[in-house]
Each structure stands twice: as structure tokens, then as C-alpha cells.
């Protein structure tokens, strides 16, 4: 049986997906898996695995700057206060743009 604390509300999943689509869609974002977890102190967090398709366009490494803050803002609006930990899963062939 799944504990209530282990369930991910649909509003939370939608908020995460909306932010990731808006911020990372141009880099091939396709979907996110979200599950509850704990950080190193045992505090509850959201573990987010963002998946991407291969893109010939190199990814700007600065694309994720501020993403966590944006996710936190969106999550708080739907009543979710667990800290989001995002892992990005890019295709192994994916290149990154060199930042100036």
C-alpha cells in the first residue's frame, strides 16, 4: 500500500511538467518522472528525472540556471513544499554549447 506521503499529486506533476516544457522544451525535454524521497538530512524532497531526446542543436549549459527556483515557485503555488531535486537525462550523444 502506498503511503499518502509517497504519492505525487497530479497538480504537482503538471506544475513540474509545465516548467520543464517552458524552460527545456527547446532542448528536447519529453517527460519527467517524479517520486518522493529524502535528502541527506532525512527531509522529504521530490526526486525529478527529466528525460530528453537527442537534438542536433547543442545545449546551452546555462539553460538550467534558475530552474530550481522556478520549479519551487510553481510547486508552492499548488501547495507543494518539498524541495525539487532534478536530474537531467540527455542522450549520450548530446553536445553542449561552449559558454563565452
Q: What is the pLDDT of residue 6?
A: 65
CB 26 within 8 A of CB 64: no
What's the rounded mean pLDDT across residues 67-83?
97
- For strand 44-52 and strand 29-38, is the pairing parallel, antiparallel, or unpaired? antiparallel
Confidence category of residue 55, pLDDT binned at 50, 70, 90? confident
Domains by residue range for the chain, with CATH: 4-97 (3.30.300)
Which has more confidence, 6 or 47? 47
What's the rounded mean pLDDT across residues 62-77?
96
- For strand 96-97 and strand 59-60, is the pairing parallel, antiparallel, or unpaired? parallel
What's the rounded mean pLDDT across residues 50-65?
91
Cell of 44: 522529504
Q: What is the pLDDT of residue 57?
A: 85
Give the chain's mean pLDDT: 91
Which has more confidence, 24 or 2? 24
Amino acid at each position: 500500500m502506498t503511503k499518502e506521503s509517497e504519492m505525487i499529486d497530479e497538480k504537482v506533476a503538471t506544475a513540474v511538467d509545465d516548467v520543464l516544457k517552458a524552460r527545456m522544451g527547446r532542448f528536447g525535454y519529453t517527460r519527467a518522472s517524479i517520486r518522493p524521497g529524502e535528502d541527506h538530512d532525512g527531509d522529504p524532497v521530490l526526486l525529478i528525472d527529466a528525460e530528453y531526446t537527442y537534438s542536433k542543436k547543442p545545449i546551452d549549459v546555462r539553460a538550467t540556471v534558475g530552474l530550481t527556483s522556478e520549479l519551487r515557485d510553481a510547486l508552492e503555488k499548488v501547495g507543494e513544499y518539498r524541495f525539487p531535486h532534478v536530474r537531467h537525462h540527455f542522450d549520450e550523444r548530446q553536445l553542449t554549447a561552449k559558454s563565452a
